[in-house]
Chains A and B, each alone.
Chain A
């Protein structure tokens, strides 16, 4: 029973992440007191203080991507994972169930790993593929980390998982944790029920 709840939660968290911003960036500088700039990346693309960031980025030749085609497969991936986890909540304690749940966990971790690689590549490109004719020459190439700060000129840019990102992480942790929790449905009565079902089959 407990395992089912756990997978239901993991499925719900993963589904909710689709609707929420996944990753966030906060940019602060001395001349932006109490008004740091915020960007969020979600299913529909980048949102937030885009107007201001676009006004600023041309000084250092940064081309913040306006289109993120990888968001489509990512959204599909999240939806698929949510569906798989939902099914995982229905699986039994048997070998098939365990194998299925292990597959879910592996897929989830792979999905996160692949996403991290894609995002980090994007971030690297932002900091390196810059307009050589940009007015400000003082800024060296930079790579914002997936999580953490980077100094770009007078700005400190913080990257961090947003609500959706946190839910995805939670979903993946739950799906892995589920492998180590004894199925609560393992009472004798339930086992007997399952056995009888199996017999019937």
Chain B
């Protein structure tokens, strides 16, 4: 796997609502088999960027290329084929409330693959075990799950078709620090075993330190800094400085240096 190829290429992207442009001529590359963390102040457009890349929001200008396919040129069929090659973990999990855990994970397989029920059962169980769920949770409904379990099931569903890219929208929000740490580690392990590219929107400094290979900071509708943690700590941009060297960021930075 070559490290340098970009699997997601965003060029000159403008996205807005009403009179306001949330993303203003933004450029971003996501390279193969890396975990990219996207941070920024609330309302800076992190989720908007993610939703635009996966095609939920219309763009005003610019191009987005995913896995070598330009989303603007792609026909219906091509788009759907492309959508099968990525998995999305939504902030609230977005599990189908009328389906059990097992059925939720099997849903993409049932719709997209022509495989036997036996293989589907085994694969669903395998995915759920990979994300750390016990077999007895398989027939529960989403309403019976805790926040951490919901995220894990949603992750298993996102991984159902062995995607090449995984989009995570604030994967650790709403989890206690221990569960959040476990989840970061899980993402890291899965990314290494399955060799997927991860695009992660987050608020969680801890995640940035433990899980991400590279960080992109969004401010004023643009990427104002990108690179590994070390680059972030040296950045002169005021927001980046406050974020990484503020009270909470500073503590983690010291730990990183002393470790």
Query: Is the pairing of A and B real?
Result: no
A interface residues with partner B (beta carbon < 8 Å): none
